[in-house]
Amino acid sequence: MEILKAKKEGEPLNWEDVKKMKYTWCTTSEVLRLYPPSIGAFREAKTDFSYGGYTVPKGWKWKKLIPDEKYEYIAAPFPVHDHPVSLEPIQA
């Protein structure tokens, strides 16, 4: 509400306003993690390596699908929708 009160009627949000919206930004980050705007990227093997019983020779290219990665780890030990603050960057 502080951001809204500081704005004139019809004045658009700027980048500084968005950065102050902690929960909105966390939610946006989670949506982009689950549904990325890009579906993949091409990779090239820098060296020979084995994966899943197959040998991939140096120089071979393949497409890595980003949606396949979204369930490889769990960022929080509890549902994110119940605790949006869990999406904040870790402060060291």
Residue 82 included in any domain: yes
pLDDT at 66: 66
Q: Is residue 32 part of a domain?
A: yes
Q: Which residue range(s) make up the domain with 6? A: 2-87
Does residue 92 lie within any of the structural domains? no
Per-residue pLDDT of the chain (92 residues; tens, 9 = 90+): 788 888 889 999 888 888 888 788 788 877 877 777 777 788 899 999 998 899 989 999 988 776 655 554 445 454 555 555 555 665 55
What pTM, to 2 d.p., does this model score? 0.39
Percentages of the chain per state (helix, strand, coil), in multiples of 5: 40, 15, 45
Q: What is the pLDDT of residue 3?
A: 86
Cα(67)–Cα(40) distance, integer angstroms = 8
Per the structure, the count of domains in the chain is: 1
Task: Indicate whether 69 belongs to any domain.
Answer: yes
